[in-house]
Chains A and B, each alone.
Chain A
Amino acid sequence: MEFDKELDARGLNCPLPILRCKKALNDCTSGQVLKVVSTDPGSVKDFAAFAKQTGNELLASSEAGSEYTFFIKKK
């Protein structure tokens, strides 16, 4: 999937992946896509909840080994 910015949140634990994501989205313009890679198993539910509550769209959420990848489109 194409994306405009990438955030490496590997090794970080709750709530840092979400906080870093929020910060990264602040630097994006509306419609841009942010890719986030995380190793926190809790982030799967957290990113879905973050998207739902903030109105930013979670385009995709996938898991490969112990890494989780999210694509979020800024509102």
Chain B
Amino acid sequence: MDDQKKMAIIATKGTLDWAYPPFILASTAAALGYETQIFFTFYGLQMLRKDLSGLKVSPLGNPGMPMKMPFGPKWFRGINWNMPNAIQSLVPGYESVATVLMKQTIKNNGVASIPELRELCQEAEVKFIACQMTVELFGFDHSDFIDGVEYGGAATFFEFAGETDICLYI
């Protein structure tokens, strides 16, 4: 279908929080009838791994991130536990704890998990393209990634991106 709308996204981030925008927008675009493609490059490759447990959220150096507890009474949940960077960096496992808390908050809010959103994208035939250059640069193997991923370079991206109505860099 020639008049079908198209959207391309370049996904470059490899953290749990930044895995959301590409998958949310791509799955929604597909539901709205867009032909959609995501080009994963650099740290964005993390989002294509079979094992997504490496996606973490880091409050370190991220002043925009509220640190709130996903449990306890309302007054307790309202407290913002922001700590100075210097302290965060010295506490072992700080990122892992923040990630566990974030995943709980996500669940409490009825927000989909990343594996769920990725699956919804695949079901909706969103095309995933992994940047072959960064796959090699970071020492990944194609077997690290889920099935259905295509591998290509910048020219591959432009082939589709050049015909899109919406093109985003995330």
Interface residues of A (CB under 8 A from B): 11-16, 18-19, 21-22, 39-40, 50, 53-54
Beyond A13-B111, A15-B31, 11 additional contacts (C-beta under 8 Å) are A12-B112, A15-B28, A15-B112, A16-B110, A16-B111, A18-B28, A18-B31, A19-B124, A39-B110, A40-B110, A54-B33
Among candidates A12, A13, A40, A50, residue contacting B31 with C-beta atoms closer than 8 Å: A50
A-B contact count (CB 8 A): 35
Instruction: List chain B residues, Cβ under 8 A from A50.
Output: 31-32
Instruction: List chain A residues, Cβ under 8 A from B32.
Output: 50, 53-54
Q: A40 — nearest CB in chain B belongs to which residue?
A: B110
Smallest Cβ distance from A36 to chain B, in angstroms?
13
Q: B32 — nearest CB in chain A belongs to which residue?
A: A53
Give the docked Cα–Cα distance between A50 and B32 (Å): 7
**Do A15 and B110 touch (CB < 8 A)?**
no
Instruction: List chain A residues, Cβ under 8 A from B36.
Output: none
A-B contacts, 7 listed (Cβ < 8 Å): A12-B112, A13-B111, A15-B24, A15-B28, A16-B111, A18-B28, A54-B31
